[in-house]
Amino acid sequence: MKPFAFARPADVAEAVRTVAADPAAVFLAGGTNLVDHLKLGVATPDVVVDVRRLTSREIADTADGGLRMGAAVTNSELAADRRVRERYPVLAQALLAGASGQLRNAATTGGNPLQRTRCVYFSDVTTPCNKREPGSGCSAIGGYTRYHAVLGVPPTPPGPTAPDTCIATHPSDMAVALAALDAQVQVLGPHGERTIPFVELHRLPDGDPSRDTVLEHGDLITAIDLPALPLAVNSQYRKVRDRASYAFALVSVAAALEVADGVVRDVRIALGGVAHKPWRATAAEEALRGAPATEESYRAAAAAELAGAVPQPGIDDGNAFKIPLVGRTLIAVLRDLTPSEA
């Protein structure tokens, strides 16, 4: 681990100034991802700026009937909040499906969506990785791809030495729920405040896999807002993983469904573990709106979303299984969310 200075500014404005002023400065919240990466040599900052006690630790009702979740609210507190449990069960479930009790006590609302990929090559500084070291190549192509993307990847694999390839997935569970819930991200940057729709926060590799999100250096997440979304009362997060707990998703599905008279009135779907970002399943949503709330529609919606999926070959048969797996999981979740009288 490289030495670094530790700064605890007086307020968020100073924190943003401090980071903005130094290209090698980073924010620290719960530290469960950053400290991991400091030890691995994946993150090598000169200055670590502690914002854990600066941003808000409140969950406040908003004027439009939604919730504002301060960046310092821990994953545990958020999952335990009555309003979240009752009005946005998909979010509580996603949080509770993530990491472990101890980690959720430290992990924050601001830090969780900004955690970086769990690609084993990204974490191992002795192997090439375009995300960690732009231009060095992608060790995952043809390697251990079980936890890698099938959506948002080029139809023909570019080869391991291509300088801007990346087939990593975003590992957060919480983020998948937030993507489904039309959340908004409140950002304080060097040039002031702005709001970013959560679905636009994360990006595809698009030529620069080193950037996970659209945030600029020095941008601080101060809060994340949930809109009033009545259909979210009927929502669910389903995570499929290699062990029953304390494991990242192979695939996951966040969905909210509103059915009336046997017809899908409205729906929100996001998929996890399948792409470089939490994957808002707009094709599936479109296919479902107005369609009969039947297994057949659900199957068609899954097929529509996964039409462009590309399996990644690799060790132990690669990850082709994820395409049927996420499809089946989506269908199962929608089936579960369908009111029995429908």
Partner 1 sequence: MDAEISLRVDGEAHRLTVDTRTTLLDALRERLGNTSPKKGCDHGQCGACTVLLDGERALTCLALAVAYDGAEVVTADGLAADGELHPVQQAFLDRDAFQCGYCTPGQVCSAVGVLDEVRRGWPSHASPDLTGDPELSHDEVAERMSGNICRCAAYVNIVPAVQQAGGQAS
Partner 2 sequence: MTELVEPRAMGRALVRRDGVQKVRGTATYAVDTPVDLPAYCHPVQATIARGRVTAMDTTDAEAVDGVLAVLTPFDAERLASTEDAEYAVLQSDEVAFRGQLIGVVIAETSEVAREAADRVRVSYAGQPHDTELSADRDDLYAPGQVNAGHETDTAEGDVAAAMAAAAVTVEQTYETAMYHNNPLEPHATTALWDAAGDGFLTLWDSTQGVHPDRAAVCQVFGLAEGQVQVICPYVGGGFGSKGTPHANVMLTAMAARALPGRAVRLALTRQQMFFLAGYRTPTIQQVQLAADRDGRLSAIAIDVVEQTSKIKEFAEQTGVPARMMYASPSRRTTHRLAALDVPVPSWMRAPGECPGMFGPEVAMDELAEALAIDPIELRIRNEPEVDPETGKPWSSRHLVECLREGAERFGWAGRGPRGHRDGDWLVGTGVAASVYPTLRQATSTATIRFAGGRYVVEIGAADLGTGSWTILPQIAADALGVDVADVDARIGDTRHPVASVAGGSSGTNTWGSAIVQAAREFRGTFGTDPHDGAEASGDVDQAAQDEDHAAYAFGAQFVEARVHADTGEVRVPRLLGVFAVGRVINPRTARSQFIGGMTMGLSMALHENSVFDTRIGQVANHDLAEYHVVSNADVDAVEAYWLDEHDPYVNAMGSKGIGEIGIVGTAAAVSNAVHHATGVRVRSLPITLDKLLPALP
Using CB under 6 A, list all residues that contact ligand FAD. 26-34, 36, 51, 55, 71, 98-99, 103, 106-108, 110-112, 114-115, 171-174, 220-221, 248
CB–CB of 16/40 below 8 Å?
no
Q: Does 244 bind partner 2 (CB under 8 A)?
A: yes
Q: How far is the CB of 315 from partner 2 (least distance, A)?
A: 6
Enumerate the β-bridge partners of residue 186.
195, 223
| d(C-alpha 90, C-alpha 233), whole Å | 8
Question: Of partner 2, ligand FAD, partner 1, none, which one does residue 220 interact with (CB within 5 to 8 Å by kind)?
Answer: ligand FAD
Determine the length of the chain.
342
Enumerate the β-bridge partners of residue 292.
263
**CB neighbour class for 200 (10 Å; exposed up to 12, middle 13-18, buried from 19):** middle
Q: Which of residues 3-22 bind partner 1 (CB under 8 A)?
A: 3-6
DSSP state of 326: H
Q: Which of 181, 184, 150, 179 is nearest to 280 (CA)?
A: 179
Number of residues that bind partner 1 (CB under 8 A): 37
Question: Of ligand FAD, partner 2, partner 1, none, which one does residue 96 interact with (CB within 5 to 8 Å by kind)?
Answer: partner 1
| d(C-alpha 91, C-alpha 71), whole Å | 15
Q: Does 83 bind partner 1 (CB under 8 A)?
A: no
Q: Which of residues 39-58 bind partner 2 (CB under 8 A)?
A: 39, 41
Q: How far is the CB of 216 from partner 2 (least distance, A)?
A: 29
Question: Of partner 2, partner 1, ligand FAD, none, which one does residue 110 interact with (CB within 5 to 8 Å by kind)?
Answer: ligand FAD
Q: Does 316 bind partner 2 (CB under 8 A)?
A: yes
Contacting residues for 336 by C-beta, under 8 A, at least 6 apart: 236, 238
Q: How far is the CB of 332 from partner 2 (least distance, A)?
A: 4
Q: Does 106 bind partner 2 (CB under 8 A)?
A: no
Q: Does 310 bind partner 2 (CB under 8 A)?
A: no
Q: Does 124 bind partner 2 (CB under 8 A)?
A: yes
| d(C-alpha 192, C-alpha 151), whole Å | 34
